[in-house]
Amino acid sequence: QRTHTRMETMRRLPRYRTVVRRDFTTWIRDTLAPTAPARSGRALHAKVADPSKSNVEPNERPAPDVPSPRTWRLRRPDSGWREYEAKSGSFRHPVGPGGVPITTGAAAAALEAAENERLRVRAAARRDSAVAEKLGEEFSTRTMRSFHSPLRKHLTLDPLISEYSVDSPEGVALMQLAEALIRTPKEAGRYMPARLIRDMLGAGNLDFLSHFGGDKSLLINASSVALSTVRGILPKHVPGGDFFDESTRGLAGKGSDAVLEVGVTRALGLMARKFTMGANIEAAARRAMRAETYNPQRSHSFDMLGEGARTYEDSARYLASYAHAAEAIQVAGFRSPQMSVKLSSLSPRFDELSRRECVPDLSSKLGSLFPIADGPNAFTVFVDAEEQNRLELTLSVVENVIRERAPPRIGVVVQAYGRRAMETLEYLRELAVRYPETKISVRLVKGAYWDAEIKQAQLLGADSYPVWTEKRQTDVSYLACASFLLENSDTLPMPAFATHNARTVADILSMVDGDMDEFTRRGCEFQRLHGMGESFDYCGLPVRVYSPVGAPNDLLAYLVRRLLENGANSSFLKRLAQGRDDLMNVDVLCEREPEVSTVIGTPVVVAEESSGVPAMPRNIYGDTRLSARGIDFEHPNFPAAFAAQKAYGPAFKPLVCTGEDSLAELTARLGTFRPNTAKASDTIRSRAAVLRKAADIVERDSVAMSKMIMEEAGKTLVDAVNEVRELVDFFRFYANQAETHLADPKRLRTVTGESCLLQAQPRGPWLCVGPFNFPFAIVGGLASSAFVAGNPVVIKPHPSTPRCAAALVDVLLEAGAPEGSLEVVVDGPLPEKSRGAREGQSDAGAALVSSGEFAGVSFVGSTRTAAKINHALALNSVEKRAPLARLVAETGGLNVLVADSSALPEQVCDAVLASFAQSAGQRCSSARILVVDNGCKNELTRMIQGGLSAMRVSKNNFDLSTDVGPLISEIAADKARAHCDSLESGGAKMLARTIGEDDGALFHPRVYDLNPQPGSDPVAGLNLLEDEVFAPVLHVVTYDGSQAELERVIEAVNRKGYALTGGVMTRCESTKTLVTNKLDCGNFYINRDVVGAVVESQPFGGHGLSGNGVKAGSEGYLEQFVAHKVICEDTTAAGGNVELMRTTT
């Protein structure tokens, strides 16, 4: 009732229009005095009370008593962040009450809602809702009026940016065009800009005139008419059609290209000036100093733009840039200047598995940037927040610097969209108490990588997202964190609140009863981005402008992020541009009464809105199945747990082949198998259940299984974990497919009075011949697909990896597979350490294939061996009258990745390194050929060389920081070295390689240029390469940038006969269309690497010399392992057509 009375009083008052801060404060206090005299003048800490007590508003009751899913207690004073985080549990795999794992989307959503509700209650208890509502109304009105004023409407870029935002096809096209043109290399300037303009603006779905309107700004209308006119001259591109023929462009077309190119270039200059303070620190400092002189309440924080370092050269360049900027900023005379530092720009190995190397290195580099002196206007270095998987590393570096360097002050950026934001603040408070000689300041932001965090969590098989999945939840977290900073401003001084949202400003000020003098006395300030939030004056309070500094080439990532933020439908700025008064003053802390969930044992509020992402990252396949669970490498306890875990030791004993007689009993038993149609459905269902249980067992023992793969196949930890996850996906997917498509007879359409059923039944004994490169996942996929169809299965593993095959059978038997349904046959006496066993033809494999007892063979390996198996199966039918056996083969390929000069070099470099060097190049899908545009060759080669130099290649694959381990054997490494010798003798030139020397099976990744001479024929260079080399050797061919020559190169690759994987890195629609349509391959990837196919999402397999059969992990794959019986019955044979008569009226 009291709140209602005060709100009514405030609504009757005239709106305040003056920006003088003291008068505004007086107005707030006078307004509230009659209804709440006790609140005016209350100290800031007076609101730090139990939320259930009297100062909680009626609509802000405490959250239900839900057991905390994560321990929020403070760490011990003598422990570091990793010990503190270790007690809180894994942020990727949290547990619910009682330590129960999160295994459903409903449980994940309820857990997230419970956490956020606790934050909501905390924030709501510390603010005055009446003050917040009135301030929000006033701020929103003033901001709306300012944004839509004639001056801003016609003389600024804000309306234009909002009009062409990412929710329109035209806005997307212009953003993509700007993104691509910024980074086009000078060497490609002759042809690439015009091609980009034609591709992106010539799309048939663009209508620039739809943005023309009488109530819109002159700039919008002029731009819309100009773009529409120029577009009329461009050829129209139809998605999926042929690429543009550049030779047919007339003078008018080329003239329009030139005019539009100049216009777009100038527009980019305007955009750069709007969103960046200057191209270099000197220009930025001059501009910022003018702004501070004009407005005493303004200060600046500088950010040297740039991508994360891919090479050590990049990191050295960025460090020099930071050092130069720090010096220039300190001598310029700013008021309390700041500079942000991205740790990822200072090390190419900023990841948790490289902790031992990167933490000391980054601590030293970061520490060198701090000034020694302190004072009221002292310079502060802020450590920027990056991806959530780098939070532990970032805080470890911060703690190291404070402990070892004791700088007078340091800043840390905290992202409120991270679900560990409050824990991070608690940790920083404890750090500040422990090291009082260093002042730790916090800049609170909402976060800028939300979309990437969501995708990464899904890729890693997490049980929970590390960020809030709803915009409202992030806003709640932000306000809860803001209340914490206000309460602890004596320990964490000078907190900064970065926001453009007027309502958020109102909520924060309401936490000090609207007392702006108190807000500034505590050194608090607001922050906004340069070029954004200018229509809101923050009521004359201190505002720091986050000021990016960099040339247009460095603007790309930052510019795209700003455009996305402006255009997002949930963005305050987007709502402001749309004039949405109804959405401007939304109270995110008000209590809601939505659906209630009890999946974690206690009622909690479930989010009303949906961001469109699954509630649980592993739930991307809906209700059909969960994707495989990952391992949290970032968790502090992982290294110790991994070291203590023993490798899985299979109990199953394979059958050792010492000759054909040793296989006689097995082949005789296989010969007695007869399919039983009557039991086929029950068999398939029971075996599907076995696969599901086996998947759970593998997930339970995933670390032990991974360690076994590392021991036997020489894989790195990341590769081994990914293989275990792939096997789990195979098991669950094939179980679902078998039940859905094989278990029940299919009713076929036919004439009335007749019933026709299609019943699947086992085809017969099945031989699975597996490779060494994926001895667990691929072999498991081959075996499980034949097994679930009801067939007896014999596994013949590669001689180097028998333990993995035995472990597969172990798991399936534990899950309930029938005795005798699976067998493993190995060669000779099984060595104690099987890795590196003999190479070449397998005696056991040849004997099994030639036995004639198998209805089919699944094989993954070389094309030559597949052909031999095919020939042997045919001979069995001719000479032994054996049934015609089916061969399902997946072989290798000369896999091609194409990169033109429109692609972002950093993205190309990442994709190239992952495609050819990951798993030591021992993947069927590994890239063997890079076809590169001459316009970007030099820059790309430099980046690849630097990236390879930063790679760690080691025989010790158990070192968690190892990127590339040894090949499967010394024989394989010798073959790779002989191939390299052959390339060099044929005229190829080595462009790059990793640092270090080959040693036995250790083979360093290499990159060779097959046509190194300028202007030489790329097709002739391809003649040096005929067959696949199963090692990390990349062969580069360079074309002149024309699409005609690119097509000629692709045709030459196709003539090699392989067709497995391929890809293209480009921003040109015409290049993408050309390569997609012309390159013959089974799996094609656009703007990403070409390895790591995912079950169900990216079914894998090729044709030609690269294999036959249906793609593994696809819906139709299991059909190869069954025979079909059609059962047709005349239902009128007795009593006539009863069904027809029933339906006749």
**What pLDDT score was predicted for residue 344?**
94
Q: What 3-state DSSP class applies to 182?
A: helix
CA gap 7, 134 in Å, rounded: 8
CA gap 591, 3 in Å, rounded: 15
Both structure tokens of 916: 């050819």
| CA-wise closest residue to 625 among 634, 635, 616, 633 | 616
At 280, which amino acid appears? N
| CA-wise closest residue to 475 among 416, 526, 527, 424 | 416
Q: What 3-state DSSP class applies to 1080?
A: coil
CA gap 749, 315 in Å, rounded: 67
**∠ Cα 723 726 732 (to 5°):** 145
CA gap 795, 846 in Å, rounded: 13
Query: What distances in angstroms separate CA 520 from CA 19, 525, 526, 542, one per listed residue?
Result: 15, 7, 10, 7
| CA-wise closest residue to 112 among 799, 633, 611 | 611
Residue 364's contacts (CB-CB under 8 Å, 6 or more residues apart) are none
User: Across the 1145 residues of the chain, what is the mean pLDDT of every consecutive 10-residue run?
Assistant: 42 40 54 44 35 36 34 35 54 78 86 92 91 85 75 65 72 76 78 83 78 76 77 59 49 60 68 80 92 87 86 93 93 90 94 91 94 77 93 94 93 95 95 94 92 92 93 94 95 93 90 82 88 73 89 66 56 58 76 55 48 86 92 84 93 88 88 87 96 96 96 96 97 97 93 91 96 96 97 96 96 96 84 44 83 95 94 93 93 95 92 96 96 94 95 95 95 96 95 95 96 92 92 96 95 96 94 96 96 94 93 94 93 76 65
According to DSSP, the β-strands at 927-933 and 1033-1039 are: parallel
Would you say 180 and 268 are in contact if contact means Cβ atoms under 8 Å apart?
no
CA gap 366, 397 in Å, rounded: 8
**∠ Cα 472 478 483 (to 5°):** 130
Q: Is 754 left (phi over 0), alpha (psi -120 to 50) or beta?
A: beta
**What pLDDT score was predicted for residue 163?**
73
3-state SS record for 542-592: CEEEEEEECCHHHCHHHHHHHHHHHHCCCCHHHHHHHCCHHHCCCCCCCCC
739 is catalytic: no
At 124, which amino acid appears? A
| CA-wise closest residue to 893 among 1104, 1117, 1112 | 1104
Specify the residue for token string 């050792």: 656
Would you say 912 and 1126 are in contact if contact means Cβ atoms under 8 Å apart?
no
At 137, which amino acid appears? E
DSSP lists the bridge partners of residue 795 as 768, 824
| CA-wise closest residue to 965 among 926, 1008, 917 | 917
Specify the residue for token string 């030099």: 938
At 1075, which amino acid appears? V
Would you say 105 and 599 are in contact if contact means Cβ atoms under 8 Å apart?
no
| CA-wise closest residue to 445 among 301, 310, 313 | 301
Radius of gyration, CA atoms only, the chain:
33
**∠ Cα 229 232 233 (to 5°):** 105
Runs of H (alpha helix) within 406-492: 421-434, 450-459, 471-487
Would you say 96 and 111 are in contact if contact means Cβ atoms under 8 Å apart?
yes
CA gap 386, 910 in Å, rounded: 18
CB atoms within 10 A of CB 59: 13
Backbone angles phi, psi at 1041, to 5 degrees: 100, -15
Q: Give the DSSP H/E element, type plus range, for residue 497.
A: strand 496-498
890 is catalytic: yes
Residues in the chain: 1145
**∠ Cα 1071 1074 1079 (to 5°):** 120
CA gap 102, 616 in Å, rounded: 9
Would you say 265 and 239 are in contact if contact means Cβ atoms under 8 Å apart?
no
Q: Give the DSSP H/E element, type plus range, for residue 1065.
A: strand 1061-1065
CB atoms within 10 A of CB 371: 16
Specify the residue for token string 């321990």: 71
Both structure tokens of 648: 């899985």
**What pLDDT score was predicted for residue 640?**
86
**What pLDDT score was predicted for residue 32?**
53
Both structure tokens of 294: 């004009």
**∠ Cα 593 596 597 (to 5°):** 155
**∠ Cα 868 871 874 (to 5°):** 150
Q: 133, 518, 890, 906: which one is catalytic?
A: 890
The number of CA neighbours under 13 Å toward the Cβ of 631 is 28
Specify the residue for token string 């201190």: 542
287-295: long-range contacts, CB 8 A cutoff, minimum separation 24: 288/334, 288/545, 288/547, 289/332, 289/333, 289/334, 291/545, 292/334, 292/335
Q: b or e along 343-357 (b: 16 or more beta carbons within 10 Å of the residue's beta carbon)?
A: bbbbbbbbbbbbbee
**What pLDDT score was predicted for residue 572?**
54
The number of CA neighbours under 13 Å toward the Cβ of 816 is 14
Would you say 1038 and 1015 are in contact if contact means Cβ atoms under 8 Å apart?
no
According to DSSP, the β-strands at 1033-1039 and 496-498 are: unpaired
At 342, which amino acid appears? K
At 779, which amino acid appears? V
Would you say 967 and 920 are in contact if contact means Cβ atoms under 8 Å apart?
yes
Q: Where does residue 819 rank: exposed (0-12), middle (13-18), buried (19+ CB within 10 A)?
A: exposed
**What pLDDT score was predicted for residue 840?**
43
Q: Give the DSSP H/E element, type plus range, for residue 827.
A: strand 822-827
801-804: long-range contacts, CB 8 A cutoff, minimum separation 24: 801/712, 801/713, 801/770, 801/772, 801/775, 801/834, 801/835, 802/654, 802/826, 802/830, 802/834, 803/649, 803/650, 803/708, 803/711, 803/712, 803/834, 804/708, 804/709, 804/712, 804/713, 804/775, 804/776, 804/779
Q: 539, 768, 924, 1081: which one is catalytic?
A: 924
CA gap 103, 930 in Å, rounded: 42
**What pLDDT score was predicted for residue 1021?**
93
Q: Where does residue 651 rank: exposed (0-12), middle (13-18), buried (19+ CB within 10 A)?
A: exposed
